[in-house]
Amino acid sequence: MLLHHGVVPNTQLSRLLRVDHAWDDQQLAWHPRVDAWGQTSLAGFWIVGDGASIAGAIAAEASGRIAAFGAAHAMQRLSDHERDRLAAPELRALTRQRRIRPFLDALYRPPTWINTPADDTIVCRCEEVSAGRVREMARLGCEGPNQTKFLSRCGMGPCQGRQCGIVVSQLLAQALSRTPAEIGAYRIRAPLKPVPLSSIANLNTPAGKEPPP
Ligand SMILES: Cc1cc2nc3c(=O)[nH]c(=O)nc-3n(C[C@H](O)[C@H](O)[C@H](O)COP(=O)(O)OP(=O)(O)OC[C@H]3O[C@@H](n4cnc5c(N)ncnc54)[C@H](O)[C@@H]3O)c2cc1C
């Protein structure tokens, strides 16, 4: 059986591209900063749906269409007027869907113990680093998640911190009496997911040819 206390945006890709992120203190998660059209701080890179902020399936669809109109406008395929006219019903749908969020986020805010677990709880499952070890690193002068990598390999396993990142930031924030926004998050390194050498070797294999041994 699996239990969960909310879902969070997957920010691996947006962090890899070094776009601006903000800490959401209601959903206890990072999200990329986007404008009304889904445009991030990196020109030409748009994020919508759960990747931008958790708001449900219908909101994700509407935000996808809004970003498409925004992108078409940025590529000068739509005038200001056409973009705004096409996006208007989607923006209304999005606003309607988001109206419930303050209530849901307050009612279902993850409890504190979820993200600041007891010392013997393993937080980095890839490298088997416990919450107690993270707190110990904070006592030893570790100031942020990227130093936990150096001191313990925490967040350096195959998942690249996707599982433990949010918890490690919050553990350090609590131990150092700072906010997660001040503590920051892991810097992400490629590849985002483990890639077998054969996949890389086959990248340049022409169609119909055998890949190299
Ligand atoms: C258990 C659960 C229950 C839910 N119940 C509801 C509900 O009742 N009502 C509701 O409105 N919403 C619900 N949601 C939320 C809803 O599913 C999401 O809001 C919605 O799916 C978000 O759409 P999306 O397109 O942003 O992301 P997704 O639907 O997650 O789509 C992202 C896609 O990107 C793909 N992808 C990821 N990484 C890569 C990569 N590196 N390369 C290529 N592709 C990649 C994924 O495989 C996926 O297909 C629920 C979610 C969960 C987990």
Of the residues 89, 107, 125, the one at which a domain ends: 107
Q: Is 195 in the pocket of ligand 1 (CB under 6 A)?
A: no
pTM of the model: 0.88
Atom of ligand 1 nearest to the CA of 48: 26
Of the residues 72, 90, 107, the one at which a domain ends: 107
Q: Provide the residue-wise pLDDT of the chain in tens; the chain has 213 residues.
A: 777 888 899 999 999 999 999 999 999 999 999 999 999 999 999 999 999 999 999 999 999 999 999 999 999 999 999 999 999 999 999 999 999 999 999 999 998 888 889 999 999 999 999 999 999 999 999 989 999 999 999 999 989 999 999 999 999 999 999 999 999 999 998 888 888 888 888 887 777 777 666
Q: Is 57 in the pocket of ligand 1 (CB under 6 A)?
A: yes
Q: Residue 154: inside a domain, yes or no? A: yes
Span from the CA of 10 to the centroid of ligand 1 (angstroms)? 10
Q: Residue 53: inside a domain, yes or no? A: yes
- Residue 48's closest CA among 16, 13, 80, 18? 13
Residues 6+ apart with CB under 8 A from 112: none
Range of the domain at 167: 112-183
Atom of ligand 1 nearest to the CA of 192: 41
Q: Residue 150: inside a domain, yes or no? A: yes
Please state, in angstroms and rounded to a whole number, the distance separating the CA atoms of residues 4 and 88.
35
To test the ligand 1 pocket, which listed residue (50, 97, 159) has its Cβ within 8 A of the most ligand atoms? 50
| 16 and 102 inside one domain | yes
Domain count for the chain, please give it.
2
Q: Residue 189: inside a domain, yes or no? A: no
| 21 and 94 inside one domain | yes
| 161 and 103 inside one domain | no
